[in-house]
Amino acid sequence: MKMLNPQHKPRLERRIAGATNRWRLPRQPVSGDLLALSQLCKALSIDFDEALKNPHRLYVSQIQKIFSENLKNKAVQNGEAAHLTGKIKERPPVKKMIISLKINDPLVTKVAFATALKNLYMSEAEINMDDMLGVLASAHILQFSTLFQRCVAMMMSGLTPSTIKNVYLAGCKYKEEQLTTACEKWLEMNLVPLVGTQIHLRKIPQELLHKVLKSPRLFTFSEFHLLKILLLWVYLQLNHKIQTIPTYETVLAFFISCPRKSSFLDRDTGQSLIPLFLCLRLHGITKGKDLEELRHMNFFPESWLVRVIANHYHALESGGDMAHVKDLTAQAVRFGLFFSQEYTTFSKMIAIYGFFFEIKGTKHDTTSYSFYMQRMRHTDVEFSSLVSEHGPVSLRAERLVKYEIRAQALVDGKWQEFRTGQIMQKFGLIKPSCKSHVLKVQTVGIPIYASFSFIFPIS
């Protein structure tokens, strides 16, 4: 059936009008007209009896209206039928295909796998950070190298104390050196100032912790501060139910309460931890109070403590010379400044073997900084508390120092490093000999991790 074109409607109506003019009836139709009237009423769906009673009301306009509506309805019905037929032709039956994969990786979840499959249709499909590990695992299985590297980049730039464990383990599992290296570098800077203050410290794998402790780039405020962080890590390994960071006094009391027949590291529990504590530079702990705590906690073997005390005695006896220390990179005493956004200047006073130094950082503008160290007199006000702790005071006019100043900052996921290199210098008590080389830093990164490493060579 052909569908009526609406443009032909006026022409049809005129033809209807001409036809109905020929069917106009008199007031009282004769018998010959009754058959014609009956046929017309039947064609137009008009009640014949009603038309017979009132033939004068059967006007052309009424017939046109009824006929036009019938034509309209027919056209709509025909149009819908052709439209539906077209739709059916446009949608051929779809063949279902089932793909079965045997996946043994527990990191792969349904949501993560579905997200990975989206990569086939969307080059930049959104990835929820909670599903990142699962998407990485799925991309590895599906061999979607572009998606895999995208996950690697996002994980590297989003390292936090809560995510570093899983990211590091994923890097080891999939042999992705970028991930493991990024975790090591991030933890070298943040173990002491950030991770060591949170319960997430417990999750740091021993293997990763060992690598970081051996690194010459490790940032710490002092050698004793690093020791406290490591003792806290051991405490959290032994007390799994603890869900909040304990105070140092709590940790100290725990080890003091252990049986005193042997040191903690000499027991079966501590034997596997010895490689970690061998990385510490216990000779850099020189304050009498800190040394007394080392002895009292019964954590280290007696031979370790005897060696530390003996080295301190010989250094003091020889005017500060550290005869037991040769390698600046592996044995230097370390101090650090964590230079954050709010600082314009930041300094710290340190004392070792009767010599006093100030380590200092200064912000000159939004991207320009400088770091240096300078020798101070023990009579300066800032050192009154250090001297009052019965610390020694050296009267030597000069002190030969081998040192290096290093600063690091994270910019766009990459670590920028600035360093003076190793410098040998005699520090006096007056300018300019009292001041070290100045490390100038240009960076948009913040915070800045500034490390000061030095030894007192034999002079």
Q: What is the pLDDT of residue 258?
A: 86
> Can you tell me the distance from the alpha carbon of 13 to that of 64, in angstroms, rounded to the nearest whole number?
6
Distance CA 259, CA 159 (A): 40
pLDDT of residue 235: 97
DSSP per residue over 39-81, as a string?
Answer: HHHHHHT--HHHHHH-GGG--HHHHHHHHHHHHHHHHHHHHHH
User: What pLDDT score does 392 carry?
Assistant: 85
Q: Assess contact for 363 and 344: CB atoms under 8 A.
A: yes
Whether the predicted pLDDT of 61 surpasses 80? no
Whether 370 and 343 have beta carbons less than 8 Å apart is answered as no
What is the percent of the chain with per-residue pLDDT over 70, rounded to a whole number?
78
Instruction: Name residue 47's beta-bridge partners.
Output: none
**pLDDT tens digits along 103-128:** 888 999 989 999 998 888 887 778 88
Query: Has residue 5 got a pLDDT over 50?
Result: no
What's the confidence (pLDDT) of residue 138?
A: 93
Is residue 32 over pLDDT 90? no
Residues of the chain with CATH 2.60.40: 328-455
Average pLDDT of span 92-96: 71
Q: Across all residues in the chain, what is the average pLDDT? A: 84
Whether domain 328-455 has CATH 1.10.3470:
no
118-127, 160-169, 260-269, 421-430: the lowest-pLDDT one: 118-127
Q: Which two tokens stand for residue 24?
A: 């106009």
The pLDDT of 311-332, averaged and rounded, is 94
Q: Which two tokens stand for residue 124?
A: 């930049």
For the stretch 232-281, pLDDT in tens is 999 999 999 999 999 999 999 999 998 888 999 999 999 999 999 999 99
Burial of 220 (0-12, 13-18, 19+ CB in 10 A): buried
Give the residue with greater pLDDT, 93 vs 368.
368
Comparing 39 with 21, which gets the higher pLDDT? Answer: 39
